[in-house]
Amino acid sequence: MPEQRVDLLAIAAHRDDVELTCGGTLAKAAQAGHRVGILDLTQGESGTRGDAATRGAEAERAAKALGVQLRLNAGLPDAHLQNDEPSRVRLVELIRATRPRVVILPYPVGRHPDHRIASELGRDACYLAGLAKYGPAGEAHRPFKVLYALAYREDPVKPSFVVDISGTFETKMAAIRCYASQFDGAKAAGEIHPTGQDLYQLIRVQSAHYGSLIRRAYGEPFFTHETIEVQDVLQLGVQSL
């Protein structure tokens, strides 16, 4: 069995979700030498376009494009995701096997019910994975940090921080373009509402907007419930005036 331990694990409902919301951040972390993994909760069997087998092959190509070391699939039911005991047990197993320090989850509010449920299910499983006497096999492990990918959300929530993905934006786009069955000719996807523009152009515009918030070309926004710690105010970036 290949080494499954990672430093950073992105968990999301559907293949292609993490590419859309945090692909640039994953590629950047991998380039920095961290071990990065993706855990897709479902296989996309209920998707309107394509089928599970096609999306599986696309997901593998996208993982290679991003440069991540590991891509797992929990095999939970697409469009019927539940935060129930069997699903939590399955995720706890996978979190204990991969032992990430940082986990990226979908934002707790979303258009697609699977996105909302993946967020809650992922957070609960991160906590439960740290309880030594909980459920299935595997040594207890609780991720240190949980981040929520905030991209495309229209809720009045300010990002806790934005990752500068100027250096990996084209890598993110290359990974997204692996999902031709989903996205070629599409005008919307996931949490991205249509404006009439081509989807790839829409992602570029949105990423440029998030980048502008930190005075960079492209960015990906995140939310944390916790306050971010700063040790030296002289090192703070982003010009105020």
Residues that bind Zn ion (CB under 5 A): 13-14, 17, 190
Which H helix or E strand runs over 8?
Answer: strand 8-12
Residue 42 or residue 99: which is nearer to Zn ion going by CB?
42
CB of 115 vs Zn ion, minimal distance in Å: 6
Q: Maximum CA pair distance of the chain?
A: 54
CB of 8 vs Zn ion, minimal distance in Å: 20
Distances (CA, A) of 124 to 83, 136, 161: 8, 15, 23
CB of 68 vs Zn ion, minimal distance in Å: 18
Residue 97 or residue 203: which is nearer to Zn ion going by CB?
203
CB of 17 vs Zn ion, minimal distance in Å: 4
Residue 161 or residue 183: which is nearer to Zn ion going by CB?
183
CB of 152 vs Zn ion, minimal distance in Å: 11
Spell 17-36 as b/e; 16+ CB within 10 A means b. bbbbbbbbbbbbbbeeebbb
CB of 15 vs Zn ion, minimal distance in Å: 8
Alpha helices in the chain (DSSP H): 17-31, 52-66, 85-98, 113-128, 169-177, 180-183, 199-212
DSSP state of 228: P
Residue 18 or residue 30: which is nearer to Zn ion going by CB?
18
DSSP β-ladder status, 145-149 and 70-76: unpaired
Residue 12 tokens read as 């999301």
DSSP state of 173: H
Residue 20 or residue 146: which is nearer to Zn ion going by CB?
20
Alpha carbons 38 and 70: distance in angstroms, whole number? 6
Residue 17 or residue 164: which is nearer to Zn ion going by CB?
17
Check: CB of residue 23 under 8 Å from CB of residue 175.
yes
CA triplet 115, 119, 123: central angle to 5 degrees? 165
Q: Name the closest residue to Zn ion (Cβ).
A: 14
